Amino acid sequence: MVGGMDMSLKEKGPVMDKEGVERTISRIAHEIVEKNRGTDDLAIIGIRTRGVFLAERIAKKIKQIEKAVLPIGTLDITLYRDDLSTIASQPVVHKTEIPFDITDKVVVLVDDVLYTGRTIRAALDELIDFGRPKAIQLAVLVDRGHRELPIRADYAGKNVPTSQKEIVEVRLEEYDKKTEVIIIGKHAK
C-alpha cells in the first residue's frame, strides 16, 4: 500500500519511539489487569500482522506483573473483510490460530492502529464464530480517529489526530527490525 505512483511520501517524524512504545505497552498491560481485577478468564488475541506481536508483548508484560500466563491467539480477518468483492485481487490469507476455547473468556483483542473500525468489525464477527466470549475488549497502540463504524477502544496507547491523507505506521522489531510509530504524509505531485 505504500508507494502509489503519483504520490510522494514524506515522513513527518516519529509519534512514538522505541521507549515510548514499550512504556505504552506496559501501561496498557496494567490497565487490562486493573480493569478486569486480575487475570481470571482473560485471554489475548492479536490481529495479524502487527497486532500479533503487540499481543505477545502485552501477555509478557502481564506475566511480569501478575505471574499469570494468559492463553494467546492469532486472528487473520481477511476472509471477513467487507471489501473482498471490490478490491483488485484476493488478499493473501494467513492462518487464524486460537488454540483454546474462547467461550466464557474475556478476550482482549489487540491491533496496532484503530482507524475506520472495519478491521475490528471483521475481527468481532470472526471471534464469535469460535464461541461465545463473556466479553470482548479492544486494545490498540494508536487511535488515529476517522471511525466509520460505532467502535471504540477500551485501551488506547495514544490518540493521534491525523488527516485521512496520512498513513500511520507502527513498526515493531519482531517484524520491521525497528520499533517506532511514524506518520507519513501523502502529497500529490
Candidate ranges 22-30, 57-65, 92-100, 105-113; the one touching other proteins (CB under 8 A)? 92-100
Site for other proteins in 14-53 (CB under 8 A): 49
Q: Could you say which of 24, 39, 96, 119 contacts other proteins (CB under 8 A)?
A: 96
Nearest CA to 134 out of 30, 33, 41, 62 is that of 41
- 93 binding other proteins? (CB under 8 A): yes
Neighbour count for residue 6 (Cβ, 10 Å): 6
Nearer to other proteins among residue 64 and residue 90 (C-beta): 90
Nearer to other proteins among residue 27 and residue 81 (C-beta): 81
- 126 binding other proteins? (CB under 8 A): yes
Q: For residues 155 and 142, what is the distance between their CA atoms, to the nearest angstrom? A: 10
Nearest CA to 110 out of 17, 34, 48 is that of 48
Q: Could you say which of 83, 89, 187, 189 contacts other proteins (CB under 8 A)?
A: 89
Alpha-carbon distances, residue 80 vs 48, 77, 123 (angstroms): 13, 5, 8
